[in-house]
Amino acid sequence: MTSELDIFVGNTTLIDEDVYRLWLDGYSVSDAVALRVRSGILEQTGATAAVLQSDTMDHYRTFHMLERLLHAPPKLLHQLIFQIPPSRQALLIERYYAFDEAFVREVLGKKLSKGTKKDLDDISTKTGITLKSCRRQFDNFKRVFKVVEEMRGSLVDNIQQHFLLSDRLARDYAAIVFFANNRFETGKKKLQYLSFGDFAFCAELMIQNWTLGAVGEAPTDPDSQVDDMDMDLDKEFLQDLKELKVLVADKDLLDLHKSLVCTALRGKLGVFSEMEANFKNLSRGLVNVAAKLTHNKDVRDLFVDLVEKFVEPCRSDHWPLNDVRLFLNQYSASVHSLDGFRHQALWDRYMGTLRGCLLRLYHD
């Protein structure tokens, strides 16, 4: 009795996207096989359970061998062992460095150290994300941080160059690195309503406007200890922010500022009377946040302070988002009409970023 066997020989590494997702999600081979069976793949392909087991194991072996190359993505492009089309290489890299929103919210702003890694068991239980996937995501954050922390220039560009991520994912990683470096508090109960996207939006504004790299203030000393100009907040700028206190410390300036804002917004705000009654408290809150940013603890508590000093008071008075926008625009612009105020550029650099952040943080 003779039997016929069709054989196909090729050298292109086959990547099953569904199996790759199961591997990235941290499922064991047996769990992955069970999930594939439940998806109906045996009926769709006519394969046996043994073939499915073998196929899954074969893919897992390939992914394990590829993982060391994915730790340094340019190596994946230049190696010759695995023949993978460029579009497939990009997919492998992008999905390997993708992360879960629930996971990143748990570690955002924390030090990427062994101490935080010990908490991954609890995070896995809380989020329902497998421990293996949590470890992969945490190690990716830490790896990117370590590679770019001492590099000069654009944080996003450095991440894209060394990890070959898409622009959107590179910007997300820039936010994660920036938050880890500056240790911003994001875990307090009053901040839980905020998404990673909210924080990433604010991180991008701060990188663009509040860091040394934002204004091209490269140190003149070639031996300067300044490492990455996009990762570190401009300490001279933060020190200068104390000059803004005159806006609330000088009664005449405070009264004039209030008068200018109220005159411009009368008849335009649905919450005008609430704004007029609470103007001085809101202004003191916003200016005092600036004046305190010389201390590391106050930098870390920036988002807590913004929610406490501005978002919560406006929310309690039921300000619509559009009224918040009109107020912040006029509040910022009116300072330019204060003849006794001499720090217009400093104010614009501060409030330009803060206005954008507050509008993102305010969920009416």
What distance in Å separates the CA atoms of residue 280 and residue 277, rounded to the nearest whole number? 8
pLDDT per position as a tens digit, 2-26: 566 555 455 678 899 999 999 999 9
Q: Please name which of 126, 107, 102, 130 lies closest in space to residue 117, comparing C-alpha atoms.
A: 107
Beta bridge partners of 12: 83
The pLDDT score that the predictor gives to residue 10 is: 53
Share of the chain above pLDDT 70, in %: 93
> Cβ contacts of residue 337 below 8 Å, gap of 6+?
260
Q: Cβ distance 79 to 157 under 8 Å?
A: no
The pLDDT score that the predictor gives to residue 227 is: 47
Share of the chain above pLDDT 90, in %: 82
pLDDT per position as a tens digit, 100-151: 999 999 999 999 988 888 899 999 999 999 999 999 999 999 999 999 998 8
The pLDDT score that the predictor gives to residue 229 is: 75
Indicate if the pLDDT at residue 180 is higher than 60. Answer: yes
- The encoded tokens of residue 351 equal 């409030």
pLDDT classification of 354: cutoffs 50, 70, 90: very high
DSSP 364: -
Q: Please name which of 79, 302, 98, 280 lies closest in space to residue 194, comparing C-alpha atoms.
A: 302
CA torsion, points 197, 208, 332, 299, in degrees to nearest 10? 70
User: What mean pLDDT, rounded, does the chain reach?
Assistant: 92
DSSP 293: T
Tell me the CA distances in angstroms from 247 to 236, 256, 299, 303, 336, one per residue in order.
20, 10, 21, 22, 12
Q: Please name which of 246, 201, 202, 234 lies closest in space to residue 347, comparing C-alpha atoms.
A: 246
The pLDDT score that the predictor gives to residue 221 is: 47
Quickly tell me which residue has 């790759």 as its tokens: 20
DSSP 250: S
> Cβ contacts of residue 300 below 8 Å, gap of 6+?
109, 182, 183, 184, 185
Amino acid identity at 82:
F
The pLDDT score that the predictor gives to residue 45 is: 84
The pLDDT score that the predictor gives to residue 7 is: 54
301-320 average pLDDT score: 97
Comparing 42 with 355, which gets the higher pLDDT? 355
What distance in Å separates the CA atoms of residue 187 and residue 244, rounded to the nearest whole number? 29
Indicate if the pLDDT at residue 364 is higher than 70. Answer: no
Return the exposure string of 313-347: e unless at least 16 CB atoms fall within 10 Å of the residue's CB, then b.
bbeeeebeeebbebbbebbbebbeebeebebeeeb
Quickly tell me which residue has 């069976």 as its tokens: 37
Indicate if the pLDDT at residue 247 is higher than 70. Answer: yes
- The pTM of the full predicted model, rounded to 2 decimals, is 0.90
pLDDT per position as a tens digit, 32-53: 999 999 999 888 888 888 999 9
The pLDDT score that the predictor gives to residue 2 is: 59
Return the exposure string of 158-181: e unless at least 16 CB atoms fall within 10 Å of the residue's CB, then b.
bbbbbbbbeeebbbbbbbbbbbbb
